[in-house]
Amino acid sequence: MLRITVDENPETVVIKLEGRVAGPWAVELGRLWEEKAPVVAKKKLAIDLRETTFADAGGMRVLKTIYSQTGAALLTGTPWTEYLAEEVARKNEQQTELEG
C-alpha cells in the first residue's frame, strides 16, 4: 500500500510517499504526477521518501521521471531511502550522459 500526501504552499510542493511505490500504487503516483506537473513547474518540488519501504521497477521509473523533469529534492532518513534517492539521481545522471 502507498499513501501519497501532497502539501502545497505558495513556493513549494512536497509529495510525501509512505509505503510501497510498486504495482498499482506506482501507476497512481504517475497519474498524480501528470495532474500536478503543471502546478509544480512554477514551484520548488520535494519528494519525501522517508517513509518509503519499497520501490519496484515501475515505481523507480515514475520517480526517475519526476526527478528528471524537476530536479526535485529527495528527502531521506534511513539507509534504504538514501539508497533509493541515490539510485533515482544516479540513473538520471547516466541517462543524461548517454543522451549527451
Per-residue pLDDT reduced to its tens digit, 34-79: 999 998 888 999 999 999 999 999 999 999 999 999 999 999 999 9
Measured torsion, CA atoms of residues 73, 76, 67, 38, in degrees rounded to the nearest 10: -60
User: Residues 84, 55: contact at Cβ < 8 Å?
Assistant: yes
pLDDT at 91: 58
2-99: CATH, from 3.40.50.720, 3.30.750.24, 3.40.190.10, 2.60.15.10: 3.30.750.24
- Which residue shows C-alpha cell 506537473? 37
CA distance 35 to 49: 20
pLDDT at 41: 83
pTM: 0.87
pLDDT, one tens digit per residue, over 85-97 is 999 998 555 554 5
